C-alpha cells in the first residue's frame, strides 16, 4: 500500500517580528530610530532652514536624527560602508 | 629548558575590503550606490527645488538616488525595517 504523507504534513507558521532577522533575511538598516513608527518619514519645510548648510542623516545612526551628527564616520569605519549625509544648501 | 614561543608567533594580517563582511562585522547599509566614492554626500541647493514636495532617499535602495523612488517599501517588507524618505517641502 502506498504511504500517505498529506495528513502528516505540519505547517510551520512564519512569524515576522520587526527587527528580528530570520535566517537568510536581509538586514535592517535602521537599528533603533523610532521603532514604534511604521515608517520613519521626516518633513523639512525648507523656508525654515536657518544655516547656509544643514546636513541630514542617511545612516540611521545619528543621535540627533533626522539631522546628521557625524555618526556615519563610525559606521563607515566599522563596516567598510560609504554612506554620508544629504546637505541642504540655502 | 623553557620553550620559547615568541619566534613561532604568526601575525595574521587583518584584511579589510569594502563591502565584504568579516564574521561579526556589522552590515553595510548601502549595498550598491556609488561604491567608487569614499563617502556618498549629496548637495541640494534648496532654491532649485521645483515641486511642492521632493522626497529624498534614506534607504540606499532607490534607482533614482539621491531621490526616493519608493524602494523603501520593498526593503521594509523584506526585512521588517521601518525606514522612509526625507520630504523637502517648499
Ligand atoms: S550621522 Fe547619519 S549621515 Fe551623518
Ligand atoms: S527609495 Fe529610499 S527612502 Fe524611498
pLDDT tens per residue across span B32-89? 999 999 999 999 999 999 999 999 999 999 999 999 999 999 999 999 999 999 999 9
Give pLDDT, residue A49.
96
Of A26, A44, A84, the CB nearest to B79: A26
Task: Judge contact between A33 and A60, C-beta under 8 A.
Answer: yes
Q: What is the pLDDT of residues A23-81, one digit of tens each?
A: 566 789 999 999 999 999 999 999 999 999 999 999 999 999 999 999 999 999 999 99
Distance from the Cα of A83 to chain B's closest Cα (Å) equals 5
The total number of residues shown for chain B amounts to 90
Distance CA B18, CA B36 (A): 10
Pocket of ligand 1 (CB under 6 A): A 57-59, 61-62, 68-72, 84-85
Cell of B63: 534607482
Q: Is B80 on the interface with A (CB under 8 A)?
A: yes
Distance from the Cα of B50 to chain A's closest Cα (Å) equals 12
Task: Judge contact between A42 and B83, C-beta under 8 A.
Answer: no
CB atoms within 10 A of CB B57: 25
Distance CA A31, CA A29 (A): 6
Q: Is A74 a catalytic residue?
A: no
CB B62 less than 6 A from any atom of ligand 2: yes
Amino acid at each position: 500500500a502506498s504511504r500517505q504523507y498529506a495528513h502528516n504534513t505540519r505547517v510551520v507558521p512564519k512569524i515576522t517580528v520587526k527587527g528580528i532577522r530570520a535566517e537568510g533575511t536581509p538586514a535592517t538598516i535602521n537599528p533603533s530610530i523610532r521603532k514604534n513608527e511604521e515608517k520613519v518619514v521626516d518633513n523639512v519645510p525648507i523656508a525654515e532652514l536657518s544655516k547656509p548648510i544643514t546636513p541630514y542623516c542617511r545612516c540611521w545612526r545619528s543621535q540627533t536624527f533626522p539631522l546628521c551628527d557625524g555618526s556615519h564616520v563610525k559606521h563607515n569605519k566599522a563596516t567598510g560602508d560609504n554612506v554620508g549625509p544629504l546637505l541642504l544648501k540655502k
